[in-house]
């Protein structure tokens, strides 16, 4: 016989999910080119509820993975690259974004057993990134030396520059910087909107700030096997 508390718990989760969807404004339409369509599908998979469920709730509390410093791509990193490399083209940063996040997903999949509740979602994300790569023309262009050096460092297994970051924080970075670097794919009625601004995401967040996650926190439990665990 099902315990009443379990029924109540399931009901509350359902009500909360419905409430989020009802009160969340619809995502803006995507551009019509093949790259934008692929990114739009990726954006839908990276919605807040999925990031929170598959990259946070399905992991032990405060669980982190080790990534290269170059794999933590945020607005300030993009700004620094633009400032230090005046001739840097947008397409170079877009390819950097793609390569960084494909490496991040490889590291997430590496710690997940195939029966883990987040394995299928992460695998599907990885496949969507491959589709973005297929429809893009990134690989037809030679990257600037500084960007190529970042990518080489990121793939160096012998580097000593590692950082422990929550999986959801990495996917939050991915979602926001995607809008920043592909703004033409995500048009908005607000002509003053700046997807590359932290202020924009704070002002337009559909959810409380403390749910959005941050890559600034470095946790101590890196290396523990990820298992499903209830929330406190």
The candidate with the shortest Cα–Cα distance to 174, out of 221, 202, 215, 210, is 215
Mean pLDDT of 154-160: 84
7 or 158: which carries more pLDDT confidence?
158
Q: Is the pLDDT of residue 6 over 90?
A: no
Which residue, 222, 160, 180, 223, is CA-closest to 74?
180
Task: Give the highest mean pLDDT range of 13-17, 124-128, 226-230.
Answer: 124-128
pLDDT tens digits, 30-65: 667 899 999 999 999 999 999 999 999 999 999 999
What pLDDT does 124 receive? 96
Q: What is the pLDDT of residues 99-140, one digit of tens each?
A: 999 999 999 999 999 999 999 999 999 999 999 999 987 766
Which pLDDT belongs to residue 23? 40
Q: Which of 3-12, 118-127, 152-161 is predicted least confidently?
A: 3-12
Residue 22: per-residue pLDDT:
35
196, burial (CB in 10 Å: exposed 0-12, middle 13-18, buried 19+)? middle
In this structure, how many other beta carbons lie within 10 angstroms of the beta carbon of residue 70? 21
Over the Cα atoms of the chain, what is R_g?
18
What is the full DSSP assignment across 28-70? PPPPSSHHHHHHHHHHHHT-HHHHHIIIIITS-TT--EEEEGG
CA dist 162 and 205 (Å) reads 30
Buried/exposed code over 165-189 (b: 16+ C-beta within 10 A; e: otherwise): bbbbbbbbbbbbbbbbbbbebbeee
Q: What percent of the chain has pLDDT over 70?
A: 70
Q: Is the pLDDT of residue 70 over 50?
A: yes
What integer is the mean pLDDT of 7-34?
48
Whether this prediction's pTM lies above 0.85 is answered by: no
Give the C-alpha distances (Å, rounded to integers) separating 212 from 104, 107, 121, 201. Answer: 18, 21, 19, 10
pLDDT at 43: 93
Q: Where are the beta strands (DSSP E) in the chain?
A: 65-68, 162-165
What whole-number distance in Å separates Cα of residue 63 and Cα of residue 163? 13
**Residue bearing the bigger pLDDT, 149 or 226:** 149
User: Residue 192 — very low, low, confident or very high, per pLDDT cuts 50/70/90?
Assistant: low
């Amino acid at each position: 016989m099902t315990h009443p508390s379990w029924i109540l718990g399931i009901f509350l989760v359902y009500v909360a999910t419905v409430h989020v969807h009802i009160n969340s404004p619809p995502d803006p339409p995507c551009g019509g080119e093949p790259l934008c369509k692929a990114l739009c599908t990726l954006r839908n998979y990276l919605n807040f509820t999925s990031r929170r469920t598959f990259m946070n709730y399905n992991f032990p509390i405060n669980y982190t993975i080790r990534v290269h410093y170059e794999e933590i791509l945020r607005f300030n990193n993009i700004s620094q690259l633009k400032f230090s490399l005046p001739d840097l083209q947008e397409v170079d940063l877009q390819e950097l974004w793609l390569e960084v996040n494909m490496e991040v997903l490889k590291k997430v999949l590496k710690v997940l057993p195939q029966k883990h509740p987040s394995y299928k979602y992460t695998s599907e994300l990885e496949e969507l990134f491959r589709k973005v790569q297929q429809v893009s023309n990134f690989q037809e262009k030679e990257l600037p030396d500084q960007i190529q050096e970042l990518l080489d460092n990121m793939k160096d297994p012998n580097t000593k520059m590692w950082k422990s970051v929550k999986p959801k924080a990495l996917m939050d970075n991915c979602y926001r910087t995607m809008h920043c670097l592909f703004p033409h794919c995500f048009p908005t009625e607000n002509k003053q909107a700046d997807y590359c601004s932290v202020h924009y995401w704070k002002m337009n967040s559909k959810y409380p700030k403390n749910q959005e996650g941050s890559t600034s926190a470095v946790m101590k439990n890196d290396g523990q096997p990820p298992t499903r665990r209830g929330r406190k």
